[in-house]
Chains A and B, each alone.
Chain A
Amino acid sequence: MTDLRVATFRAGDLLLAVDINRVQEVVHSPSITPVPLADPCVTGLFNLRGQIVTAIDARRRLGLPERSPGERIANFIIPSHGTPMSLVVDCEGDVIDVEGDPLEVPQTVDRAIRSIVTGVHELDGSLVLLIDADHMLVAGAG
């Protein structure tokens, strides 16, 4: 796999990236309606121009510590299996091109993360974890 353009974002202390072609848009402060009794990864639903979007929290999905209230978040709108989904991340980063084949995900990485991360790239000395968007956006499968 070479020359992939990705959108980067942060979740906890991780730097993640998703294929830019999967990201429809980034929404900042939609009015979220929580869904009680739903999987904890589902932060709720919101209305995006008449479509019902399901918001999945990246931190919870990856088993990372909860963010403190009031912290800035961004919603990556990523249609998955025909359903509009939103990946709730800490903040969006740059759009970058990653080159060369990704490194394998080390076995030491937490299982929850390993099932979602397809590869690791090195960028300016830090690691970027490339995610499988569809896998990331399945609630309750982790």
Chain B
Amino acid sequence: MSEDDEIVQAFLEESRENLDRLDRDLVALEATPGDPELLASVFRTVHTIKGTCGFLGFSRLESLAHVGESLLGALRDGELAMDAAITTSLLQLIDALRAAMDRIQSTGAEGGDEHSDVIADLKRHLPANGPQQATPTADPVRVEPVPESPHPAPSDAVAEEDRPPADQVNSPIAPEPVPALASTVETSVRIDVTVLDRLLDLVGELVLASSQVNELAKDPPDGPLAVPCRQLRLVTDELQDCVMEARLQPVGLVIGKFRRIARDLATSMGKQVVVEFEGEDVGVDKAVNEALKDPLLHLVRNAIDHGLESPTDRVAAGKPAHGRLAIRTSHENGRVQVEVSDDGRGIDAARLVEQAISIGTLTVEEANELTRAESLRLIFRPGLTTKEEVSNISGRGVGMDAVQSGLESVGGSIDITSEPGTGTIFKIAVPLTLSIMPVLITKCAGQRYAIPQVDVEEVVHLGAEEVPASINHIHGARIQNLRGQLLPLLDLAGELGVPSTPSDGSLDFVVVETDGRRFGIVVDSVGDAVGTVVKPLPPATRSIPVFGGVTILGDGGLSLILDTGGLATASGIGSPVKKQASTMPSPRPADATSVLLVTSANGAHFAVHLALVDRLEHFPRASIEHTGRVDVVQYRDGILPLISLADVLPDQQLPNGTELTGGSITHDTESIQAVVCDSASGLVGLVVGSIEDIVPEPTAVGQPVSRRGVSSSLILNERVTELLDIDALVADASVGVPA
């Protein structure tokens, strides 16, 4: 690259930043028209661009900038008042400048575009023959009779003759007040990200070496090395923090652009919006900033297109004509939180539910179970939109699911709250940086494996004596009954094909949730949570789906980082059961209805909708009380009626099945296994022989009802299974409603 090219390159980079700032300042200026500091800043920026264009010989760009400068000068000097039309013209000027710069970047020349339309548009606003002409109000100190730009556009020259005083006021760069200047001076340099990455690597090694030196210096404890070593460690730690910080950039770099986008969108749709920003200086990793861009853009568009009403509707609803869109960024628990809120019409949860049912991602029964918050979350399912008509801006029903998956791919999350008529708030949380990941170190077969903290829900240790009571074996897989919720367990050693370490019968596992699947990873032991620099796996090992990367730990050793999603997929855990694949509808979300498979005491197979299952409990046989026709146990400060499946639904193949007699729970064990269900008349305990499995409910319609208490019979896991109708069972057993 020649020296000239370098200068042009530097000019382009600098100008792009300047243009971004202009976008921001102009929109702000529209809100606070007379703000002298903003006006001065805008004027100065345009002037700088004009000056550099002239210096580099881009004469057409220069004349374009010149007209803008004239207009801004008139604004600054109070000859004109800022309004929406002028703002639009100035924004168009910036677009034209930006387009011209792109052309210079790609072709090296500014091209032949005279920008006459933009120039004419700008000139329209100039006070060509107004009374201001005769009495310029500018501060005389600012007026410097500097010659006009050397390449004025022909039409421009005529205009200048018409109004020399105004131009003389506008064209020169005025000596600005010093304080305003100081605030805009930037003290930054550009550094290649790879250099920063290498710095981070080296600092990591330095930290390692420093801790090794510190180990050596401990003997003797107060030796001559003790003080310098402590110093060394302090400085290295601080250095590490600094290098980490150097990789961060203000989130405003991305969200600052939304000022302009929000304004343009609102204007094009005849809406009025005030955009409020908070926390634009919050620093995030460049990669995180990139990852935030599209989801946030989508939310901003949605808010303006769907959320905000037209000014007349707003006034009619008793709201100010101006809609409000607020983007607040803050640090929260080591994560970056971005809140996008509007005061628009809010989201109609009922409509979302209706739509979800109509496109088949939700059943009516499911819909009845949904809380309002859950209904709102339907917006993240594919194919849903609340907009009646599709506009060219949004409303095609693609997007919110992409927003969610985009955020999740970087370890982020999104949540929604909305009140009809009041507005909608989206809360996004993303990690500060993608390269430093908090992980939980676990041990398995003598090696350390790191689990990303973002996936970790909790860590569970079960003593040897607790294991038999809370672990069920289902088809050889272990399922843990964790506070009433069934949790499949995955044996890490088995999954990785490494020899498992013999244990004393106790069990350690890490509960993780990933892609809507929740399971426990059984390890030998669970260690500390540490922040680590994630490195990609080397090529020879990259195709292993259960690992997401590798990291260097504090002692210099390595730890592979588990990809919990890959682990779940590889093991088939939590995913739709493979055998059922053919009966599963294809676009089924991960949290689709599942059924709990149980057997009755005499071995018949039944299924219960998981949504109805409250908890799984063991009750000591001694605690069962007989009250008239039904058996009950004391449960959660109340009385829980028990229904034995073996009794009320005797196996039809067995002629000696007993009729419904009540009070005849017969088992030979010390305790009974009960599925506590939520029925229309309160909680009820279904006494079962064993818990078998959780499988997705097949959508294929089962055989019609064969008997009371059963809603249909299905083929599940290649066995005839009767789907229970809990309410009918309860009614028939006349167990009544416990208080």
Which A residues contact B (CB, under 8 angstroms)?
Answer: 31, 33-39, 42, 45-47, 49-54, 56, 81, 83, 85, 138-140
Q: Decide: B498 and A36 in contact? CB cutoff 8 A.
A: yes
CB distance from A55 to the nearest CB of B (A): 9
The 10 A-B residue pairs whose C-beta atoms are closest, nearest first, are A36-B496, A139-B540, A33-B558, A50-B205, A54-B538, A50-B201, A38-B541, A35-B541, A37-B544, A54-B540
Measured between beta carbons, the chain A residues less than 8 angstroms from B546 are 37
B665 CB–A CB distance under 8 Å: no
Q: Decide: B558 and A38 in contact? CB cutoff 8 A.
A: no
B502 CB–A CB distance under 8 Å: no
Give the residue name and chain of the B residue nearest to A82 (CB): B539
Which stretch from B42-50, B361-369, B549-557, B651-659 is at the chain A interface? B549-557
Instruction: Name B550's contact: one of A50, A52, A83, A138 (CB within 8 Å).
Output: A52
Instruction: Name B538's contact: one of A34, A37, A50, A52 (CB within 8 Å).
Output: A52
Q: Decide: A37 and B560 in contact? CB cutoff 8 A.
A: no
Contact with A along B491-506 (1 / 0, CB 8 A): 0000011100000000
6 contacts between A and B (CB under 8 A): A34-B447, A35-B544, A47-B556, A52-B537, A54-B539, A83-B539
Measured between beta carbons, the chain B residues less than 8 angstroms from A52 are 535, 537-538, 550, 552, 558
B467 CB–A CB distance under 8 Å: no
Contact with A along B202-238 (1 / 0, CB 8 A): 1011000000000000000000000000000000000
Give the residue name and chain of the B residue nearest to A34 (CB): B447
Give the residue name and chain of the A residue nearest to B555 (CB): A31
CB distance from A142 to the nearest CB of B (A): 12
B547 CB–A CB distance under 8 Å: yes
Q: Decide: B557 and A33 in contact? CB cutoff 8 A.
A: yes
Complex CA gap A50/B207 in Å reads: 11
Measured between beta carbons, the chain A residues less than 8 angstroms from B557 are 31, 33, 47
B559 CB–A CB distance under 8 Å: yes
Q: Decide: A45 and B496 in contact? CB cutoff 8 A.
A: no
Measured between beta carbons, the chain A residues less than 8 angstroms from B550 are 33, 45, 52
Q: Decide: B447 and A33 in contact? CB cutoff 8 A.
A: yes
CB distance from B398 to the nearest CB of A (A): 36
CB distance from B436 to the nearest CB of A (A): 15
Contact with A along B553-573 (1 / 0, CB 8 A): 000111110000000000000
Give the residue name and chain of the A residue nearest to B200 (CB): A50
Known: A38-B544, A85-B538. 8 other contacts (CB 8 A): A31-B557, A33-B550, A33-B558, A35-B537, A36-B498, A52-B535, A54-B540, A83-B539
Give the residue name and chain of the B residue nearest to A33 (CB): B558
Complex CA gap A31/B552 in Å reads: 12
Q: Decide: B556 and A56 in contact? CB cutoff 8 A.
A: no
Complex CA gap A47/B550 in Å reads: 10
Complex CA gap A56/B538 in Å reads: 12
Q: Decide: B559 and A35 in contact? CB cutoff 8 A.
A: no
Q: Decide: B539 and A45 in contact? CB cutoff 8 A.
A: no
Complex CA gap A54/B559 in Å reads: 14
Complex CA gap A33/B497 in Å reads: 15
Measured between beta carbons, the chain B residues less than 8 angstroms from A37 are 496-497, 544, 546
Complex CA gap A45/B541 in Å reads: 9
Complex CA gap A33/B559 in Å reads: 7
Among B630-688, those with CB < 8 Å from A are: none
CB distance from B519 to the nearest CB of A (A): 19
Measured between beta carbons, the chain B residues less than 8 angstroms from A34 are 447, 498
Instruction: Name B540's contact: one of A31, A46, A50, A56 (CB within 8 Å).
Output: A56
Measured between beta carbons, the chain A residues less than 8 angstroms from B498 are 34, 36
Complex CA gap A35/B498 in Å reads: 10
CB distance from A9 to the nearest CB of B (A): 20
CB distance from B543 to the nearest CB of A (A): 9
Residue of A35, A56, A140 contacting most chain B CB atoms (<10 Å): A35
Residue of B201, B447, B498, B541 contacting most chain A CB atoms (<10 Å): B541
Give the residue name and chain of the A residue nearest to B203 (CB): A50
Complex CA gap A140/B544 in Å reads: 13
CB distance from A141 to the nearest CB of B (A): 10
Complex CA gap A85/B539 in Å reads: 10
CB distance from B553 to the nearest CB of A (A): 9
Q: Decide: B205 and A49 in contact? CB cutoff 8 A.
A: yes
Q: A37-B496, A38-B544 are in contact. Are A47 and B558 (CB under 8 A)?
A: yes
Measured between beta carbons, the chain A residues less than 8 angstroms from B559 are 33
Q: Decide: A35 and B535 in contact? CB cutoff 8 A.
A: no
